[in-house]
């Protein structure tokens, strides 16, 4: 995200990725109508199946119920199952990025709303349904920003991804009455053309899937590069009783 020289601003970004349909799954409740990431917190969850930071407890040093290496392997396998299952869903995705002036008021906005659908042949594609002219003047979205929104913010950490990251067990924590294992995650090396996650994840202790992610997107940076990437939080919601889908991101 390129920031204009001398600009004093806050940048807020949100993603709503709400599964709309599967062969036996009806629509979820609609997302919040107002997207003001820098000035407001996410709405209270409608059910206890949504992980939210506001309901977090303190991280304890309690050990997991199995060896850490085995636990990491198991949750990565479950994440791989989830990634495959996610491809059976269509959903609506809304991206809103606002610039905030020194009085805390939005003074520019980028908005994109699209449906992720399937062709009759089964190929996934994106159909843009709302894309008003951006009014932001002090920031410029780059391809890296779009890649982060699509791939890093809704992090899925599978077995194939594990060799790229150091994953360290931190402890246990209850998040909105959900028992979780907490891990710190960081890339081992930064390769050109690749984007990575660096931060903390919360893994539900029964289903062994990520329910919350907080951190930054990172990658190989050129000298004198002036891009800035916001700290973000992504929350997942339990769908169909088996899988936790990313449904809300704020940055």
Least confident stretch, 105-119, 179-193, 196-210: 105-119
Is residue 14 within 8 A of residue 249, CB to CB? The reply is: yes
Give the start-to-end residue ranges of the domains of the chain. 2-42+62-250
Over residues 229-250, the mean pLDDT reads 90
Measure the CA–CA gap between 86 and 117, rounded to whole angstroms. 12
Query: Residue 169: enclosing H or E segment and its boundaries?
Result: strand 165-175
> pLDDT per residue over 156-165, tens digit each?
999 999 999 9
Q: Is the torsion defined by CA of 71, 72, 73, 77 positive or negative?
A: positive
Q: Which of 4-18, 46-60, 97-111, 221-235 has the highest mean pLDDT?
A: 97-111
* Res 133 pLDDT > 60: yes
Residue 6 has pLDDT above 70, yes or no: no
What does residue 220 show for φ and ψ, rounded to 5 degrees? -65, 125
Is residue 126's pLDDT more than 80? Answer: yes
- Three-class SS state of 216: strand
Q: pTM above the 0.75 mark?
A: yes
pLDDT at 224: 59
Pair of tokens at residue 174: 């209850």
Q: What average pLDDT does the structure give for the chain?
A: 79
Q: What pLDDT shows up at residue 225? A: 60
Higher-pLDDT residue of 56 and 228 is 228
The reported pLDDT for the residue numbered 149 is: 86
Distance CA 196, CA 145 (A): 12
Task: Say if strands 106-118 and 124-130 run parallel, antiparallel, or are unpaired.
Answer: antiparallel
For range 222-238, the mean pLDDT = 80
- Select the more confidently predicted residue: 213 or 18: 213
């Amino acid at each position: 995200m390129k920031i204009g020289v001398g600009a004093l601003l806050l940048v807020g970004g949100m993603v709503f990725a709400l599964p709309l349909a599967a062969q036996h799954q009806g629509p979820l409740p609609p997302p919040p109508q107002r997207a003001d990431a820098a000035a407001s917190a996410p709405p209270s969850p409608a059910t206890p199946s949504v992980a939210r930071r506001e309901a977090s407890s303190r991280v304890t040093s309690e050990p997991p119920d199995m060896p850490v290496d085995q636990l990491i392997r198991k949750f990565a396998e479950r994440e791989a199952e989830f990634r495959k299952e996610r491809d059976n869903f269509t959903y609506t995705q809304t991206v809103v990025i606002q610039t905030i002036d020194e009085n805390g008021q939005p003074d520019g906005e980028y908005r994109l709303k699209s449906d992720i659908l399937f062709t009759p042949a089964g190929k996934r594609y994106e159909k843009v349904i709302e894309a008003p002219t951006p009014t932001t003047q002090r920031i410029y979205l780059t391809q890296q920003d779009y890649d982060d929104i699509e791939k890093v913010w809704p992090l899925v950490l599978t077995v194939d991804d594990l060799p790229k990251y150091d994953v360290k067990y931190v402890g246990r924590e209850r998040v909105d009455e959900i028992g979780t294992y907490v891990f710190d995650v960081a890339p081992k090396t930064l390769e050109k053309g690749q984007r990575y996650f660096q931060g903390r994840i919360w893994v539900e202790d029964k289903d062994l899937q990520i329910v919350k992610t907080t951190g930054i997107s990172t990658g190989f940076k050129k000298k004198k590069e002036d891009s800035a990437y916001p700290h973000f939080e992504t929350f997942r919601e339990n769908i169909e009783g088996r899988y936790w889908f990313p449904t809300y991101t704020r940055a």
